[in-house]
Amino acid sequence: MNPTEPDTTALTDLVSRLDLASKVRLLTGATAFTLPPEPRIGLGELRLSDGPTGVRGLKFAGGRVVSLFPNATLLASAWDVDGAYEVGRLLAEEALVQQIHVVLGPTINLHRSLLGGRLFEAYSEDPLLTGHLAAAYVRGMQDAGVAACLKHLVANESETERNTVNSVVDEATLRELYLLPFEIAATDAHAWTMMAGYNDVNGVAATEQVHVNSGIVKGEWAWDGLLMSDWTATKTTAASANGGQDLVMPGPVGPWGDALVAAVQAGEVAETTVDDHVVRLLRLAGRVGALGDLREYPTDLPAPDSAVRRRQLRDLATAGMTVLTNEGVLPLAGSGGVAVIGRHAVETAGMGGGSAQVNAPYQVSVADGLTALLGDRVTVVDGVEVRTKAVAALPAMVTDPESGLPGVGFTLYDAAGTVLERRSSPTATTVVGFDDDFEGTVARIRLQARLTSDGPLDIGTIGVGDWRLRVDGRTSDWTLAVANPGPGAELLDPPSRATPVAVPAGTEVEAVLEVPALAPGSPALAGLIVRRSAREVDTVLAEAAAAAAAADVAVVVVGLTAEQETEAVDKSTLALPGRQDDLVRAVAAAAAKTVVVINAATPVLMPWLDEVDAVLVVGLPGQEAGHAVAAVLTGAAEPSGRLVTTWPVADGATPAWNVTPVDGAVVYDEGTFIGYRGHHAGRAPAPAFWFGHGLGYTSWDYSDVTAHGDPAVSTTVSVTVHNTGDRDGREVVQLYFAPADPAQPVRLVGWTPVTVAAGGSATVTVTGDPRMWRRWEGGPDGSWATLPSAGELLLARGLGDIRERITVG
Ligand code: BGC
């Protein structure tokens, strides 16, 4: 259903029926993820939920069980606009069953520095690929009457000092690179909402950016959607209300409210400005069926663990998996033994951390996925530690002593010591205050659990406050505080502490947290850590090598965790955490054949690359992770992905690296030369693997290339591709333009995927997007010019494998 497009005159009329205070009330959230209704004008409650890898609902954690999708980089690696549309459509289904009107995605910031903690949520380093995939996702979602939200406007590429960082970006770079995905998704697909980031851009907060928000987005692009703030990002009243932002999130407390009413009365904000914000809000409500006759919601959509969802999510994941190298070992052949090794083999990372997390119905590990396909041919060996910080216990590690069910029992007390509530959840070992469901002001939380396995274990606590931990009669006290203060740090980067204990299964554990008064909605988290203590690394390596030597092929699964790929924190290195490099080397030295599976969304360093037979990148594959990886390893599905980020040879060997602000600023001084553009211009060493690289399971020849059209503004290239291998396969024909002017970087201008049977051929046309021939001249008041057409058109499988060159101009 696509509700009829609201009529602006009718919306203005509705606004005129409200007094100033009633209008302003609508412009701040009612809760963390809802907006206030206004029955007098037929406005229903609008409900927002995070994306982008699932629609987790109105709770930050522990909410409804929903489908966990493959992460954004993995989806993007399919280079498939139809697939992106399908993701939008499926997310809309997940939203509709929860009566959610707005999904807070896609994230379309670019992969500028590879240290950025949130790159896993964002599609790629390329603005065209990002923009076209985002536009398709938006269409898929909005065709079903659910609003998408482009985030985070703009120049929001790293997390360090994220609430204050000033991104310093020249105007041409801003427009040609960082604004381009927003422009494409706003003008081609009419995204109904956007989110202004936490950061400043050239000294002005994103939430107050008259130049970007009012001038470019609402002015030049004539965008008529709603611009909301990121959560707690708004720092001012008049400046943000006058700065093109329409809505403050979350609520009910915020910097607008009475202060905005007073600012209007003092003449600092025009009432017509408030009216425009409300018109946009009502337009959104009309579009999603929350104004006037409220929409009806389907109830018969596929459940997150239904067979149809499983298949959809598995297919989306396999399409983006990317073969970096393959010395004839993949897909796995024969009937011999397979040793599956690594912590990521047994605890496969299906998603990143932060607001993109969802409460998934299940997550299949690579070990379980391969065992399901290959049975007792598979030997599973756990690997080295991959985390430095303990995470909350798996519910299976503990039971609530009162109910006997998996998970922890929580008792919430007020300051007088009265029990407010006792709760227990079979899927959770944490309790989160931000979810707005404390039944009063909490001053103490008591966590009780009984261990289900014998030691040696690490037992501890997570969450800000004064803790007393009691295990088997012995007590320890400690105080935990956030390490990196910032919005939501208590939830996004909570402090934790654990201590080794050797106790038998059945031992009771009690942890008591004393906190300053926690009102409902407070960003607080309390959790219990119970995990098996780390084993000696030498023992782990020896076990892995022995299993590898005994098998026909070893599959080592390595990767990152939510310590690196998360919100609020950046990375400091691209090296694999822990002793995973040693694990790969130990396995490669012992095994007849070694396949490395990289379970990470973003590039990692591979010092052992020459010692292994194949490297497969599987991203963060969502709930179907292990089944998808197994399908690809065995050849049941082709890993037809192409990299969406250039993989460098070393830390710092990239065109843009630093993410630590200097005097509060991160300077984007590489201009438009990020990623492959900068490597190609010699501004960084040749990479290990180029953006666009990916081998698939077959081989390709290109012939009969012709270019049509006016190369000054656009171009169309035709080419015949021959599948020269013995498997059906999918090729992604990529077209780049390398301007003769060295001040202008090479850039992707178009691509077309094609599926061709073994031994067959197909003629493919790729049309360049005219926006890639634009150049911004001058500062903020400058204008667009057309690039001189002189240069080369390149047909390439990533710029490390250029198949055809056409000189133009
Ligand atoms: C994130 C947003 C997210 C919001 C709501 C913020 O911390 O930056 O991307 O949508 O929280 O959870």
**Ligand 1 site, residue 435, Cβ cutoff 6 A:** no
The H-assigned helical ranges of 375-493 are 489-492
In a domain, 193, yes or no: yes
What is the span of the domain harbouring residue 777? 698-808
Decide: 128 and 769 in contact? Cβ < 8 Å: yes
DSSP letter at 302 equals P
Summarize the confidence of residues 780-784 as an average pLDDT.
Answer: 96
Number of domains in the chain: 4
Q: Residue 333: is its pLDDT beyond 50?
A: yes
DSSP 8-class letter at 675: T
Domain check: are 264 and 319 in the same one? no
Distance CA 339, CA 345 (A): 10
Residue carrying the six token digits 């003449």: 267
Predicted pLDDT at 1: 42
The neighbour count for residue 294, using CB atoms within 10 Å, is 15
Counts of helices then strands in the chain (DSSP H, E): 18, 36
Whole-number Å distance, alpha carbon 216 to ligand 1 midpoint, is 23
For residue range 454-466, list pLDDT tens digits in order: 878 999 999 999 9
What would the mean pLDDT of 243-251 be, rounded to a whole number? 97
Final residue of a domain: which of 517, 532, 547? 532
Distance CA 115, CA 572 (A): 6
Residues 278 and 405 in one domain: no
Give yes or no: residues 122 and 188 share one domain.
Answer: yes
Q: Which amino acid is at 581?
A: D
Distance of CA 142 to the CA centre of its chain: 20
- Indicate the DSSP class of residue 760: -
Within-domain flag for 104: yes
3-state class (DSSP) for residue 287: helix
Give the pLDDT band (50/70/90) at residue 788: confident
CA of 230 to the centre of ligand 1 (A): 6
Is the peptide bond prior to 504 cis by the omega test (within 30 degrees of 0)? Answer: no
| Type and span of the H or E element at 148 | strand 147-153
Question: Beta strands 700-708 and 716-723: pairing type?
Answer: antiparallel
Core vs surface per residue 505-515: b (16+ CB within 10 A) or e: eebebbbbbeb
Token digits of residue 503: 């106790």
Can you list the positions of beta strands (E) in 188-262? 193-196, 200-201, 204-205, 226-229
Q: Check whether residue 496 and residue 594 sit in a common domain.
A: no
- The residue with tokens 């006290």 is 477
Residue 51: which CATH number? 3.20.20.300
Q: Does residue 104 sit in the same domain as residue 139?
A: yes
What is the per-residue pLDDT across 581-592, written as a single tens digit (0 to 9) for each? 999 999 999 999
In a domain, 661, yes or no: no
Nearest CA to ligand 1 atom 3: 355
Omega before 708 within 30 of 0, i.e. cis: no
181 and 65 inside one domain: yes
The rounded Å distance from CA 741 to ligand 1 centre is 40
* 652 within a domain of the structure (yes/no): no
328 and 281 share one domain: no
Q: Is the domain of 241 the same as that of 269?
A: yes
The closest-lying atom of ligand 1 relative to the alpha carbon of residue 151 is 9
> Is 96 a domain residue?
yes
If one residue of 34, 49, 50, 60 were mutated to test the ligand 1 pocket, choosing by the most ligand atoms within 8 A of its CB, it would be 50
Considering only CA atoms, which of 566, 546, 564, 562 is closest in space to residue 554?
546
Render 253-277 in DSSP notation, one character per residue. Answer: S-SSHHHHHHHHHTTSS-HHHHHHH
Residue indicated by tokens 């001012």: 236
Average pLDDT over residues 414-442: 83
Cross-strand pairs, 640 = 322
Which pair of tokens denotes residue 550? 């005994």
How many Å apart are CA 738 and CA 73, to the nearest integer? 25
Beta carbon of 49 within 6 Å of any ligand 1 atom = no
Structural tokens at position 731: 């090729």
**In CATH, what number is assigned to the domain containing residue 518?**
2.60.120.380
Note whether 158 and 56 are same-domain residues. Answer: yes
End residue of a domain, out of 600, 619, 645: 645
**Ligand 1 pocket check for 43: Cβ under 6 Å:** no
Tell me, rounded to whole angstroms, the distance of Cα 268 from its chain centroid. Answer: 38
User: Does any domain span residue 600?
Assistant: yes
Q: Based on the number of CB atoms within 10 Å of its own CB, is 334 exposed (0-12), middle (13-18) or buried (19 or more)?
A: exposed
Shared-domain flag, residues 448 and 504: yes
Q: What letter represents residue 453's amino acid?
A: S
Same domain, 462 and 574: no
Residues 66 and 180 grouped into a single domain: yes
Q: Is 688 a member of any domain?
A: no
Mutate which of 31, 230, 357 for ligand 1 pocket (most atoms within 8 A of beta carbon): 230
Q: Are strands 802-808 and 791-796 parallel, antiparallel or unpaired?
A: antiparallel
Residue 75 lies in a domain: yes
Annotated active-site residue 224? The verdict is no
Over residues 11-26, mean pLDDT: 98
Centre of ligand 1 to C-alpha 231, Å, is 6
- pLDDT tens digits, one per residue of 187-229: 999 999 999 999 999 999 999 999 999 999 999 999 999 999 9
CA neighbor of 595 nearest in space, from 611, 610, 613: 613
pLDDT tens for each residue of 701-751: 999 999 987 766 668 999 999 999 999 999 999 999 999 999 999 999 999
Asked if residue 63 has its Cβ within 6 Å of ligand 1, the reply is no
Mean pLDDT confidence for 662-678: 98
Q: How far apart are CA 159 and CA 489, in angstroms?
A: 12
Q: In the prediction, which pLDDT does 62 show?
A: 65
3-state secondary structure 633-665: HCCCCCCECCCCCCECCCCCCCCCCCCCCECCE
Query: Where a domain ends, among 584, 612, 645?
Result: 645
Crossing angle (nearest 10°) for helices 307-320 and 625-633: 50
The predicted model scores a pTM of 0.95
Q: Which amino acid residue places its CA nearest to atom 7 of ligand 1?
A: 231
- CA 591 to chain centroid, in Å, comes to 35
- Cβ(768)–Cβ(735) below 8 Å: yes
* Cβ of 488 less than 6 Å from ligand 1: yes
CB distance 493 to ligand 1 below 6 Å: no
Contact between 368 and 410 (Cβ < 8 Å): no
Tens digit of each residue's pLDDT (9 = 90 or more) over 76-90: 999 999 999 999 999
The residue whose CB lies within 8 Å of the most ligand 1 atoms, and thus the one to mutate among 103, 199, 249, 355, is 355
**Whether residue 436 has pLDDT greater than 60:** no
Q: Which residues pair with 513 in a beta bridge?
A: 445, 467
Residue 2 has pLDDT above 70, yes or no: no
DSSP-assigned letters across all residues of 66-103: ---PPPHHHHHTT--HHHHHHHHHHHHHHHHHTT--EE
pLDDT band of residue 428 (cuts 50, 70, 90) is confident
Helix axes 8-16, 271-287, angle to 10 degrees: 120
- Taking the centre of ligand 1 as the mean of its atom positions, its distance from the CA of residue 488, in whole angstroms, is 9
Residue 755 sits in a domain whose CATH number is: 2.60.40.10
Exactly one of 126, 200, 230, 436 is catalytic; which is it?
230
Per residue in 349-364, pLDDT tens? 999 988 888 989 999 9
Q: What is the CATH number of the domain that holds 352?
A: 3.40.50.1700
User: Hey, whose CA ends up nearest to atom 4 of ligand 1?
Assistant: 231
Distance CA 261, CA 59 (A): 30
**pLDDT at 178 > cutoff 90:** yes
